[in-house]
Structure 1
């Protein structure tokens, strides 16, 4: 008989603060969620049990832990804390749905992101990028521009043209409506849905108005598509109309279309806008990197109009974006709930436990990333990728629920960043404090004012 069978591995409870000593963590979490989670990992290690109000969170910060929860045993984990509460706000879209509904939605949406279709979107993205460059050039030598706001408008414009085949600029309040919905979703996540939506609070009233407006936008897009003499296309609105055609209750069909479209646009534009904002900030802090991106952009654009093959020329720009997403991953937090009791890395996880994987923490771990707070795009050079732990880098999640729009997001970010660096130089405002705001994505808190200089 082996020693292993005589003395089986000990499965123990993750370490962490006592419930009494953790009483002060909830208000700290409200102020700075990243700081509290970083403290917990630094204090207790790669597996931490954190009592937080009525909940106990199980935070895991090792690539093997991420692989187990997100991929190897993904069937045991449903969407977790935050997203289950955000469902009251954004409904049962792809981000929050589960089971057969999620699988059906994924089948409906997946073809929109296929490589052949994305290849046809390069020109649309390039046109939006050039329009952005022209808008920003008008501010050259003048006062600062809020780059986060500009990137948000750009990303919505790109998604309108590539996913919806419509100009979202025709709906003037759509950006503000998305901002209101996101704010309410984060409030739901942090308050654990404890505040009834029927209370006529100012926040709730703004949310109700935004939700009604987004329903009107969805109805308008669907009506325009139904009137198209050429029939339905391969865009997401067409596919959603067809997917709810057999729904016996038309109101349910309308709401399902709205939920799915709002989820796609909200998550899609926020991730790209955040990545581009952080990229421009980091390039300003590292001018030698910015100049390399500029030189590469000048060389690639000089070959003629962009197509999918030309994008392979942006090798260094892609490395820059990968490093940006390592430091500031758009998906900064992945939450799950254990269906059944499990074991993760030798630690016991009870059934019903709230499990957290944070790409932000994992991708800043010194164990996997030497000098993790240094901005170094060379980390993603081909010769330095070899041997790296696969699940130490998960900016788009992993496993079955890997972000469906990651390829579109990367293509968009690459084209836009290259176009900006080719023609403009963006600089931070003196004494501007730039810090992360962990919302649905990890965005720049309070905006990102920068001055513009034409090259």
Structure 2
């Protein structure tokens, strides 16, 4: 059969995927190894895969052109999906979980805070926070939990750059967000079939964490209301002003603030954790980072203009995010029937674009499992893959609003740490990924800290 009838029938065809008899294996992977679930099926079945688990069917999309279709070209048809829907219990209708006109209003309110000129003016604040971190690490005699340190740093930067507030007194924030992620992923993989009142440890911890986050958000709003900033450009000031203009409730402000606190620190902290792990695994990369930092920075703190000079450091950050994208899964729900890659996707389907597998696609990346910052050599832009083969910050209208600040922060941390320190994993530490809302190192990352000398290459000669 040829012609329009054949094309219509082809468009109604379901994508390939694992058979029903594989349900128990898929369920096990869903609970214990979500990265393998995505990677194995993409490798076996191709760039569009239908994964049926119980009553649910999930459509895995793993090609740049198809990612562009879902995230950009037909973005209006795809609302936030699995994982983020469950996270709404704690985050409410914040920028991360909302859709439609609510999301558009929130984006318009917050967007000015992330304008390039304003972010560039925050470089001195970021550098001072990183400088304090490096000095603190240099004083450690024994192992230090580097993920804890990175969480503290990123929260401190977020507070000073985006909120014009000090978050140092809120030590529970990091733990509370971990509990939120754990519960959101638990509900996602159990299809929300476990009643929320069941007193499982995970659910009890989540309720405590949710209350803690709401309390902190309310305190920050109250502090700003009591001490307003005239013509304030920070997020708190803009949320309060927008709430007054639009009649938005205090709950809406709280939702947005909690979302910002999570998204604004978690992704950068995760990226830095993976960066220190990979740098430790590749001493030659550590040496190049040290050399570049000494030659570019000397003894001073970095400035925004240094992002153009720290080319290898930027490449390292980009390659880290290729292998371990902090947002490893971009879940969506189809609002209407669609066709993806020639296959029919019914309305209501869970459609997931997975940067973790996309960034390892052998058609677009040579030796994709290898850590090679040279892929992002600024002198060889022609060597880069297609735009949508690399999406660590998402793509389309919902492209991450804080990408510039996150990259600047990560580059400053790696440059200043490489200049003055050498971080080595504790012997015997097995580093494994944990795929939650973000892609983090499972069980933390203890490292020992060793001081280095700032010796320029010319001086050494």
Q: Same fold (TM over 0.5)?
A: yes
Aligned with residue 436 of structure 2, among 436, 439, 442: 439
Measure how far apart 1:145 and its partner are: 1.1
Instruction: Give the alignment's TM-score, normalised by structure 1.
Output: 0.94
Once residues 229 and 361 of structure 2 are traced to their aligned partners in structure 1, the CA distance between those partners, rounded to angstroms, is 53
1:304-319 counterparts in 2 under 5 A? Answer: 304-319=300-315
User: Per the alignment, in what secondary structure is the counterpart of residue 168 of structure 1?
Assistant: coil
Moved more, 420-429 or 143-152: 143-152
Once residues 258 and 347 of structure 2 are traced to their aligned partners in structure 1, the CA distance between those partners, rounded to angstroms, is 32
User: Per the alignment, in what secondary structure is the counterpart of residue 14 of structure 1?
Assistant: coil
Measure how far apart 1:246 and its partner are: 5.1
1:208-223 counterparts in 2 under 5 A? Answer: 208-223=207-222
Aligned to 2:455: none
Aligned with residue 453 of structure 1, among 439, 444, 450: 450
Measure how far apart 1:198 and its partner are: 3.5
Aligned to 1:91: 92
Measure how far apart 1:7 and its partner are: 6.0
Residue 324 (structure 2) pairs with residue 328 (structure 1): yes
Once residues 3 and 126 of structure 2 are traced to their aligned partners in structure 1, the CA distance between those partners, rounded to angstroms, is 58
Aligned with residue 343 of structure 2, among 343, 347, 363: 347
Aligned to 1:156: 155
User: Per the alignment, in what secondary structure is the counterpart of residue 244 of structure 1?
Assistant: helix
Once residues 378 and 413 of structure 2 are traced to their aligned partners in structure 1, the CA distance between those partners, rounded to angstroms, is 23
Aligned length: 448
User: Per the alignment, in what secondary structure is the counterpart of residue 23 of structure 2?
Assistant: coil
Task: Give 5+ residue unaligned stretches, structure 1.
Answer: none
User: Per the alignment, in what secondary structure is the counterpart of residue 17 of structure 1?
Assistant: coil
**Aligned-residue CA RMSD (Å):** 1.9
Q: 1:70-99: per-residue Cα shift (whole Å, max 9, x none)?
A: 111111111112211221222111111000
Q: 1:341-395: per-residue Cα shift (whole Å, max 9, x none)?
A: 1111111111111111100001011111010111110101135432621111011
Kept after mapping to 2: 8 A contact 1:62/1:392: yes
Q: 1:149-179: per-residue Cα shift (whole Å, max 9, x none)?
A: 1111111111111111111002232222222
Measure how far apart 1:27 and its partner are: 2.3
User: Per the alignment, in what secondary structure is the counterpart of residue 250 of structure 2?
Assistant: helix
User: Per the alignment, in what secondary structure is the counterpart of residue 193 of structure 1?
Assistant: coil
User: Per the alignment, in what secondary structure is the counterpart of residue 309 of structure 1?
Assistant: helix
Kept after mapping to 2: 8 A contact 1:436/1:443: yes
Q: 1:156-205: per-residue Cα shift (whole Å, max 9, x none)?
A: 11111111111100223222222222222222222232233344443333
Instruction: Give the alignment's TM-score, normalised by structure 2.
Output: 0.93
Moved more, 406-415 or 204-213: 204-213
Q: 1:28-70: per-residue Cα shift (whole Å, max 9, x none)?
A: 2100100111111122111111111221011111111101101
User: Per the alignment, in what secondary structure is the counterpart of residue 50 of structure 1?
Assistant: strand
Aligned with residue 401 of structure 1, among 394, 398, 417: 398
Once residues 3 and 321 of structure 2 are traced to their aligned partners in structure 1, the CA distance between those partners, rounded to angstroms, is 42
User: Per the alignment, in what secondary structure is the counterpart of residue 71 of structure 1?
Assistant: helix
User: Per the alignment, in what secondary structure is the counterpart of residue 169 of structure 1?
Assistant: coil
Once residues 334 and 68 of structure 1 are traced to their aligned partners in structure 2, the CA distance between those partners, rounded to angstroms, is 13
Once residues 229 and 321 of structure 1 are traced to their aligned partners in structure 2, the CA distance between those partners, rounded to angstroms, is 37
Once residues 394 and 416 of structure 2 are traced to their aligned partners in structure 1, the CA distance between those partners, rounded to angstroms, is 28
Once residues 91 and 310 of structure 1 are traced to their aligned partners in structure 2, the CA distance between those partners, rounded to angstroms, is 38
Aligned to 1:360: 356
Kept after mapping to 1: 8 A contact 2:267/2:438: yes
Kept after mapping to 2: 8 A contact 1:331/1:441: yes
